[in-house]
Each structure stands twice: as structure tokens, then as C-alpha cells.
């Protein structure tokens, strides 16, 4: 049976994000992922509050990065959260968002080595070991927690490129594929299979999640309007090779990127086409979303994550997913 996750961006007041998570748990979601960007509220404060007001839903950062946050501090944070919500905590890692990292002059150097070492550091520290690590990126001597972590914390790795996808499958407990279209999921699946083979793992050993930009409403036009800004940002930052795969011109992407740079939001988002929405989101009525999700599951996705914006109205859209979309898959 497929798992369903939901992503929250902690830009709202803490009580709102917590309420949304409580609603998601009540409606049958399996995971809550909370984004980690310095310009929003703190991810672990958000997760701690969510954990205190929920009972069974799994939760974690989705995703944090080792460029702004040292792996030791991430290990400490998820281990501490695990005491509040034992057995429910997961850790989502990635290389971070280039736009926000550029704001603080932080470069995404040597991403494969950085993520690989980060996974090792978090695993060893949360397993109670005294850590001696001299790597290409991090050097740690004699680090150890003064408290016990009761159970292993699964690590999910966010990935898009083939090498990172392979690494995620090789060393991770889960892969968060930042994609919405079957073409991109199919390409990612091939890389994941290579990583599994390299590690001697079977397909079921690693959870494969499609981490999508999602928007649903009974009114398809409202769903589309809500997703326009998110898709606009995705297109603006998309590699040329990905744009070409979906038949989107580099010139069209540049127009959106230039308008965003000038903070001309109206111009930027008016350039987003239905083709772009189809390529980079799951969007539409509940029935349309069910059909699109089903296509991804047939490729091998085992967790579907409904990411930002969720819909025109957060509470209403969570309700729609929980009552109209999830039952289609949870009942087989």
C-alpha cells in the first residue's frame, strides 16, 4: 500500500501549521514534511509543536541541508525530536535551495561528498557511537551524545540528478524525487535501480517518494491559479535539459526568471503556461489528481508527497485529498 505525505512551509503562524498537521493525521496521511529555509519559521520548533499535538503521523524536515546546518546539529535536532515523538521521526536531507543559499553567499560545493558524509555523521551519532570522522568535507573527533537515541532514524535524501539519485538509493532509507511528471520519475527510477544494485539492496529496501508541487480543488481553475507561482519558480530555476525534455523553450523560462528577479510577480506568473503546469505539478480536480498520482505509482513510487501550495485554500484542499483522493488508494 502506498504512503501519503504532505509538505508544509512554516511561513504561517505556528498554530496554523500545527492545525494543518493535525487535520492531515486525522484524514489518514502517513507523513508530514516541513521545509527548512532560513526565511521561514524554524523547522524544528514547528515539528516539535506538531509532534506534541499528533499521535501517529511520521514527521521530519523535508529537507534540511548541511551547508547552513552542520550535520552534528541536525543529528542533535532529530535525536531530540525523537524523544518527543519516539519512532515517528524521519530526517530529510538535500543540498538546499540555491536561491536562498546565494542570499547568504553559501556555495553548494561537492554535493555528493557532502551528502554522503552527512548521512554517515547523523547515522553514527544517533546510534550512540563516539564519532571519529576525517572526510573530504567534515572533520569530527570524539563527538558523542550525552543521551541515548532509542531507535534508528530513517534518512531520506532529496535528489534530482542521476548521481545524487544513485547515492540516495545506495545509502539512504528513502529517496525524495523532486518531480511531478512520469517522464522525470521514469528517468529517476533508472538511476535509483543502479544505486540499489550497487549497494546490494532490493527495491523494497528503500522508500521511493515523489515529492511534488500539488494543487487540488473542485474548481480546476482555482487549483491552477494557486499553483502558478510555484511552477513559475520551478521553471525559472530549471536546467535547460529538463526544459527541453518537456518541450519548454529556454527563452520562455528566461522571461519568467527575469521578471522574478525584478519582483514583477504579475508579469512572471502570467508567463506560466498550461504545459509548464502539466510538466512541473500535479494539479486539478480530485479525479484528475487521482489519475496523475496513479501513473506515478505504476512506475514504482511508494510514497506520494503533496507539496506546496496544496491548493487555493489549505484546509479545504487537505480535506479534499483526505476524503476524495486518499481513499481511492488506501482501499486498493
Is pLDDT at 47 greater than 90 in this prediction?
yes
Is pLDDT at 1 greater than 90 in this prediction?
no
Give Cβ neighbours of residue 204 (< 8 Å, ≥ 6 apart).
none
- What's the whole-number average pLDDT of the chain? 95
pLDDT value of position 197: 97
pLDDT value of position 239: 82
Positive or negative CA dihedral for 244, 161, 184, 24? negative
**Three cell numbers at 210?**
515523489
Q: Which SS3 state, helix, strand or coil, does residue 200 take?
A: coil
pLDDT value of position 102: 81
- CA nearest neighbour of 31 among 63, 54, 61, 5: 5
pLDDT value of position 21: 98
303 contacts 60 by C-beta, under 8 angstroms? no
- CA nearest neighbour of 175 among 199, 191, 151, 159: 159
- CA nearest neighbour of 37 among 71, 68, 16, 15: 68
Give Cβ neighbours of residue 326 (< 8 Å, ≥ 6 apart).
4, 27, 28, 29
**10/7 Cα distance (integer angstroms):** 10
309 contacts 227 by C-beta, under 8 angstroms? yes
Average pLDDT over residues 148-162: 93
pLDDT, tens only, 212-246 = 999 999 999 999 999 999 999 889 888 888 899 89
Is pLDDT at 169 greater than 60 in this prediction?
yes
Helices (H), 127-207: 162-171, 182-199
pLDDT, tens only, 106-134 = 999 999 999 999 999 999 999 988 889 99
pLDDT value of position 100: 79
**164/167 Cα distance (integer angstroms):** 5
pLDDT value of position 332: 52
Average pLDDT over residues 69-80: 97
Q: Which SS3 state, helix, strand or coil, does residue 290 take?
A: helix
pLDDT, tens only, 170-190 = 999 999 999 999 999 999 999
Is pLDDT at 73 greater than 60 in this prediction?
yes
pLDDT-derived band at 321 (thresholds 50, 70, 90) equals very high
Average pLDDT over residues 146-170: 95
pLDDT value of position 265: 87
How far apart are the two ends of the chain, measured CA to CA in Å?
Answer: 7
CATH number assigned to the domain covering 3-219+282-330:
3.20.20.30
Domain ranges (residues) in the chain: 3-219+282-330
Average pLDDT over residues 2-9: 96
Comparing 8-17, 202-211, 250-259, the range with the smallest average pLDDT is 250-259
Amino acid at each position: 500500500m502506498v504512503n501519503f505525505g504532505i509538505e508544509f512551509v512554516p511561513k504561517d503562524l505556528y498554530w496554523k501549521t500545527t492545525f494543518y498537521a493535525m487535520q492531515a493525521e486525522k484524514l489518514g496521511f502517513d507523513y508530514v514534511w516541513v521545509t527548512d529555509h532560513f526565511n521561514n519559521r524554524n523547522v524544528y520548533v514547528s515539528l516539535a509543536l506538531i509532534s506534541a499535538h499528533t499521535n501517529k503521523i511520521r514527521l521530519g524536515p523535508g529537507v534540511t541541508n548541511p551547508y547552513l546546518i552542520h550535520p552534528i546539529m541536525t543529528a542533535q535536532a532529530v535525536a531530540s525530536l525523537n524523544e518527543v515523538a519516539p519512532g515517528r521521526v524521519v530526517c530529510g536531507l538535500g543540498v538546499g535551495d540555491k536561491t536562498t543559499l546565494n542570499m547568504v553567499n553559501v556555495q553548494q560545493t561537492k554535493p555528493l561528498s557532502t551528502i554522503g558524509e552527512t548521512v554517515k555523521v547523523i547515522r553514527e551519532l544517533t546510534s550512540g557511537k563516539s564519532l571519529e570522522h576525517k572526510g573530504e568535507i567534515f572533520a569530527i573527533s570524539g563527538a558523542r551524545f550525552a543521551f541515548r537515541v532509542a531507535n534508528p532514524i530513517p534518512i531520506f535524501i532529496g535528489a534530482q540528478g542521476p548521481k545524487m539519485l544513485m547515492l540516495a538509493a545506495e545509502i539512504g532509507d528513502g529517496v525524495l524525487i523532486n518531480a511531478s511528471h512520469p517522464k522525470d520519475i521514469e528517468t529517476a527510477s533508472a538511476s535509483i535501480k543502479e544505486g540499489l544494485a550497487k549497494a546490494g539492496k532490493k527495491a523494497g529496501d528503500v522508500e521511493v517518494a515523489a515529492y511534488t508541487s500539488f494543487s487540488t480543488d473542485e474548481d480546476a481553475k482555482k487549483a491552477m491559479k494557486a499553483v502558478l507561482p510555484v511552477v513559475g519558480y520551478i521553471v525559472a530555476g530549471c536546467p535547460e535539459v529538463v526544459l527541453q525534455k518537456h518541450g519548454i523553450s529556454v527563452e520562455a523560462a528566461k522571461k519568467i526568471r527575469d521578471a522574478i528577479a525584478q519582483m514583477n510577480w504579475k508579469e512572471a506568473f502570467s508567463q506560466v503556461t498550461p504545459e509548464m503546469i502539466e510538466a512541473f505539478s500535479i494539479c486539478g480536480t480530485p479525479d484528475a489528481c487521482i489519475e496523475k498520482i496513479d501513473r506515478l505509482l505504476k512506475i514504482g513510487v511508494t510514497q506520494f508527497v503533496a507539496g506546496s501550495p496544496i491548493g487555493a485554500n489549505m484546509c479545504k484542499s487537505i480535506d479534499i485529498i483526505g476524503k476524495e483522493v486518499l481513499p481511492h488508494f488506501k482501499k486498493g
